[in-house]
Copies of this chain bind each other. A is one copy, B any other.
């Protein structure tokens, strides 16, 4: 079976079309690599790329894109609303099919080592690839951003995993790591009471005693006159979409509130959809390989 690894590199350029195209070309017309999507935001001045591929070809394409970004982007002249610490800000590798998390961690380390060696950009390993617990969270690693990194990187606890303890003059630093696929999943409630959405969010999210792989908050959908439990599923293989849906449903009953519907934002791995169908239909011995499209 073909191996599928997803990579979602974030580049600190969301305005100059020519530069963005040069970076994107690293992912085009290559065997074993497929550019699925990209989106740039002018306010954020950032481009998020979604690409899938096999181990070797994906590694080569990502390294090529980093080379172009280092050449084209100067963080000294970069401004935008999104926090950033490098020309390539973050490179997550995500196991999708026939590949383990361990292999994605190994890939992230190979890519990190090469980035430091070839381009002289210091690398922090984060998430599952982190070399210490305080480096797992991207926000903690990036704190201080490009400007603050000049000093932060000299502190012993922020010594980079690869490269010298010195910020690249124009390209800054980059975080590279492996993580589970995220699913952005929202559940809409038939009420306009934000306090109910907030209360339910607290019951289901990890930080307040809820499910381990759930982040959640209440959001007001003023235009529809309803509220939403807005969820980030950080590992749907262990905390299932249907389990969160059913829990929100029975918690809402407590206020006599029903579910208006739910929504998945952006891409979702096939395994999450199959998991849902398996639960509700009580499917016995079903394999994702039985889905015709999984064989393509």
Q: Which of A1-25 contact B (CB under 8 A)?
A: 4, 6
Q: Which of A149-157, A159-167, A277-285 contacts B (4 or more CB under 8 A)?
A: A277-285
Expressed in whole angstroms, the Cα–Cα distance for A128 and B168 within the complex equals 65
A169 within 8 A of B: no
A247 within 8 A of B: no
B-side contacts of A294, CB under 8 Å? 270, 293
Q: Which of A68-76, A196-204, A209-217, A256-264 contacts B (4 or more CB under 8 A)?
A: A256-264
The bracket for how many chain A residues form the interface is 35 or more
- Is the beta-carbon distance between A291 and B268 smaller than 8 angstroms? yes
A158 within 8 A of B: no
- Is the beta-carbon distance between A284 and B188 smaller than 8 angstroms? yes
B-side contacts of A130, CB under 8 Å? none
Smallest CB–CB gap between A103 and chain B, Å? 18
- Is the beta-carbon distance between A263 and B291 smaller than 8 angstroms? no
A290 within 8 A of B: yes
List 10 tightest A-B contacts by C-beta distance, closest first.
A276-B277, A270-B293, A261-B282, A280-B280, A261-B284, A267-B292, A273-B277, A263-B284, A36-B295, A262-B281
Instruction: With A262-B284, A264-B290, A277-B277 given, name 4 new contacts (CB 8 A).
Output: A261-B282, A263-B284, A270-B294, A291-B293
